[in-house]
Structure 1
Amino acid sequence: MSLQNFRAADPPVGVRRSHPGRFLAAAGLAAIAAMVLPAPLAHADTVDVKCSVPDLVAAVNRANSSPGPDTLRLARKCTYRLVTPDPANSSSGLPAITSDITIEGKGATITRARSAPEFRILFVDDAGTLKLNKTTISGGAAPDCPNFPGGGAYGGGISSLGTLTVRHSRVVNNTAESSVFAEGGGIESGNAEGVGAATLEDTEISKNTAVYNGDVQSSAAGGGVLNNGPLTVERTRFTNNAVRVTENTDSLALGAAAAFFAQTTIRDSLISGNSSTAPGGTARGALNNSATVTVTDTVIRDNTASAPGGTANGGAAGNGGTLSLTRTRVIGNHATAPAGGTVTGGAISLGPEGALALNSSTVRGNTASAPGGTARGGGISNDLGGTVTTERSQISNNTANAPDGGTARGGGIFNAVGSTTLNRSAVTENRAGDGGGIFEESGTVTLNDTEVKRNRPNNCAPPNSVPGCVG
């Protein structure tokens, strides 16, 4: 059952109130009886949870029913193996989080048994707050509900409409698979109205998958994470996550590592080895951005977007929003479209309203490959009217190739319709069939104190299209 608009029913809540002492003076009795004294502030409770699933379920239910924040301390390195879903919410293994709960994992794992029916591990209601520390969430499988209004599968490991904080934890080997559409193989945060916020710190998001397996056009998005609400990411690793769609359905595989539909900040993180696959459809990079995303001191490397006979947009990122990269390295990413497909951006591809800012950053060693087809922009493709601005950045050793009779243009940058302004930057040692450094089909490319050199077979094409570019 889809939980995009689901709200778990609030459990009974016990209210603690003070009881005033009895006064014997008859004259004041009526006045005192009419007074309403405030309840004392609810205090935080800490509970040690035995290495037992029933004990964990009972602890969550008690925490939901008590006022104030609660901390559940799991048994050290215990594996809580869930066999059946929660009776009140068959889409999740544990009771929905409806209050303020901290789970101190102490190295414990909460997982779904392989023989169990499909359910995610955790759901945070819009009234809930979950802080997850030193815990592994694994084996979750968001159920597919094709007949439920809205349908789809959301959040294979965790789905949150409330406030979610994950620290020093692992979200691994979870899946959202659907015949309608799939979102957030590892974590889904927030809903379409922007309700819900998440924070990831010192956490591993790995080997999660979002899969669309239907037979009409649809999508899978956010193999690791999909966010519809504000998201903050620090010192976190997104590795080996995937999105896949059914071949030849013209479907979209978006953001193998993460898909952003709300404001996101990423710092000091690694995004590596993620893959988006859409045979005959559209595959869009490790990151799919439709919002405002700020990335600082991060490495985005060795990610792949593959669309045989279709379109691949950016091995590292497909950007239809505003993407700012500062002191960030985008290296060794690949966008491929064999069998006569189209590739835009071996590293980064911009949509018609996309804006990309590179500040003291590097785009290096990325490849756009389209045997028998069209490859545009080994490093960056700005071919639909977006805006690119660089400051003290390097675009080097990128390649656009299209063997078997295809067309490859713009080894470093391909520009059409939109505008690209390079300030105090360098475009060097890139390769393509034409426009080894920069190919300007239309739009404007402006060089301010920027070197374009040692590109093959030429630096800029067509001749004289880029003022200040020689050869």
Structure 2
Amino acid sequence: MTVPCSGPTGGASGLVEAVKQVNADGRGVIRLSANCNYDFTAPAETGTRGGDALPIIKGEITIIGGPSTHIRRTGGPKFRLFEVFTGAQLTIRGIFVEGGDSGDFTGGGILSARGTLHLFQVTLRNNTADNGAGLSNDSGTAVVSYTLITDNTTVHPNGSGGGGAAIYSDGRLSVDFSRLSRNSANSSGGGVYNELGGSATFFRTTLDENTAKIHGGGLLNGVGGRARLVRTLVEDNRASDGGGIYRDQEAGPVLLDDSLVIRNAPNNCRPVGSVPGCS
């Protein structure tokens, strides 16, 4: 189905109704207008993890936009934009996902809670959350391709939490031909926070100019996490330690395959020797 930019069946309200319909049908494709802003000022649903601009994805849904199609939170209370339910699948293509704010909850732009998420030619920017400001992959599967994740911020009122400004993941994560840039974490993992059995693979991707107050300006590989970087660049990230990559002592391996970790401050990888091939 097609949701026009305006009119009685268009805009943000039309998109809400379209998601409801596809959820009821079980699967479907929603096409959005080019050069259109679908602006939200209130959540469609509020659950145990805060509010969502759109109904929680419970079927198999593909949403296609572009060029210059925006789904945005532009005011009102704090709420994220997308949430994917357990066992559901969401594919987003050619859309800007902006301005989500889940407050003290995870996933400011998108939360996939044991679901499956595919992002293709998406821009995730200016989203805020306790962790996973751009994207929170909570024990699910996330495939991110040809996507820009930028200017997302993690915050927490008491100073705790706040990890994974671009992406938080404790599931299966694949990022290829993408860029994670200028994201800022209140604690660790300015670019990515990968932990608790999470498996993260990066292919021909750049993590640059991300910051973390504590560890892992580019990537924090936490307890039980494992990561592989293939032809990937990690540069110009900052943290108090492990400006590029920080590997927790109880984490799995971080493998560099024809990848560069350079010009990060105050160092590239920590602890010393924890990431083979990184000085």
Relative to the length of structure 1, the TM-score reads 0.52
Equivalent residue for 2:122, pick from 298, 308, 311: 298
* Equivalent position of 1:58 in the other structure: none
Give the Cα separation in 2 of the matches to 1:319 and 1:271. 16
* Equivalent position of 2:102 in the other structure: 276
* Equivalent position of 1:410 in the other structure: 216
In the alignment of these two chains, the number of paired residues is 266
Distance 1:205 1:266, change over 3 A: same
Report whether the alignment pairs 1:388 with 2:211.
no
Report whether the alignment pairs 1:263 with 2:85.
no
Distance 1:273 1:173, change over 3 A: farther
Equivalent residue for 2:71, pick from 235, 238, 242: 238
Equivalent residue for 1:366, pick from 183, 186, 196: 183
Give the Cα separation in 1 of the matches to 2:278 and 2:162. 25
- Deviation per CA, 1:302-334, whole angstroms, max 9, x where unpaired? 1111xxxxxx12110110211111111001111
Give the Cα separation in 2 of the matches to 1:189 and 1:344. 35
Report whether the alignment pairs 1:343 with 2:141.
no
Distance 1:212 1:244, change over 3 A: farther
Give the Cα separation in 1 of the matches to 2:127 and 2:202. 22
Equivalent residue for 2:42, pick from 209, 212, 215: 209
Distance 1:330 1:419, change over 3 A: same
* Equivalent position of 2:136 in the other structure: 318
Name the SS of the counterpart of 2:175 in structure 1: strand
Distance 1:284 1:206, change over 3 A: same
Give the Cα separation in 2 of the matches to 1:322 and 1:226. 17
Equivalent residue for 1:430, pick from 201, 218, 237: 237
Question: CA offset at residue 438 of structure 1?
Answer: 0.4
Cα pair 2:169 2:194 within 8 Å, conserved: yes
Structure 1 counterpart of 2:42, which letter?
Answer: T
Give the Cα separation in 1 of the matches to 2:255 and 2:197. 15
Show the 5 A alignment for 1:11-90. none
Give the Cα separation in 2 of the matches to 1:439 and 1:336. 20
Give the Cα separation in 1 of the matches to 2:98 and 2:71. 6
Structure 1 counterpart of 2:112, which letter?
Answer: N
Give the Cα separation in 2 of the matches to 1:186 and 1:435. 45
* Equivalent position of 1:181 in the other structure: none
* Equivalent position of 1:444 in the other structure: 253
* Equivalent position of 2:7 in the other structure: 136
Give the Cα separation in 2 of the matches to 1:268 and 1:134. 15
* Equivalent position of 2:276 in the other structure: 467
* Equivalent position of 1:355 in the other structure: 172
Report whether the alignment pairs 1:199 with 2:37.
no
Larger radius of gyration: 1
Identity %: 30
Name the SS of the counterpart of 1:239 in structure 2: strand
Cα pair 2:53 2:73 within 8 Å, conserved: no
Distance 1:188 1:334, change over 3 A: farther
- Deviation per CA, 1:21-49, whole angstroms, max 9, x where unpaired? xxxxxxxxxxxxxxxxxxxxxxxxxxxxx
Distance 1:186 1:224, change over 3 A: farther
Cα pair 1:323 1:356 within 8 Å, conserved: yes
Name the SS of the counterpart of 1:294 in structure 2: strand
Instruction: Structure 2 unaligned segments of length 5 or more: list them.
Output: none
Name the SS of the counterpart of 1:467 in structure 2: coil
Cα pair 1:243 1:277 within 8 Å, conserved: no
Question: CA offset at residue 227 of structure 1?
Answer: 1.2
Give the Cα separation in 1 of the matches to 2:242 and 2:17. 39
Distance 1:287 1:212, change over 3 A: closer
Equivalent residue for 2:226, pick from 416, 419, 437: 419
Cα pair 1:333 1:346 within 8 Å, conserved: yes
Question: CA offset at residue 220 of structure 1?
Answer: 2.8
- Deviation per CA, 1:274-325, whole angstroms, max 9, x where unpaired? 22113xxx332210113111111111111111xxxxxx12110110211111
Cα pair 2:216 2:239 within 8 Å, conserved: yes
Structure 2 counterpart of 1:285, which letter?
Answer: G
- Deviation per CA, 1:106-127, whole angstroms, max 9, x where unpaired? xxxxxxxxxxxxxxxxxxxxxx
Name the SS of the counterpart of 1:171 in structure 2: helix
Structure 1 counterpart of 2:11, which letter?
Answer: R
Root mean square deviation, CA, Å:
2.7
Relative to the length of structure 2, the TM-score reads 0.85
Structure 1 counterpart of 2:246, which letter?
Answer: F
Name the SS of the counterpart of 1:344 in structure 2: coil
Instruction: Structure 1 unaligned segments of length 5 or more: list them.
Output: 1-129, 138-165, 175-183, 246-252, 306-311, 370-374, 402-407
Cα pair 1:428 1:437 within 8 Å, conserved: yes
Give the Cα separation in 1 of the matches to 2:274 and 2:2. 54
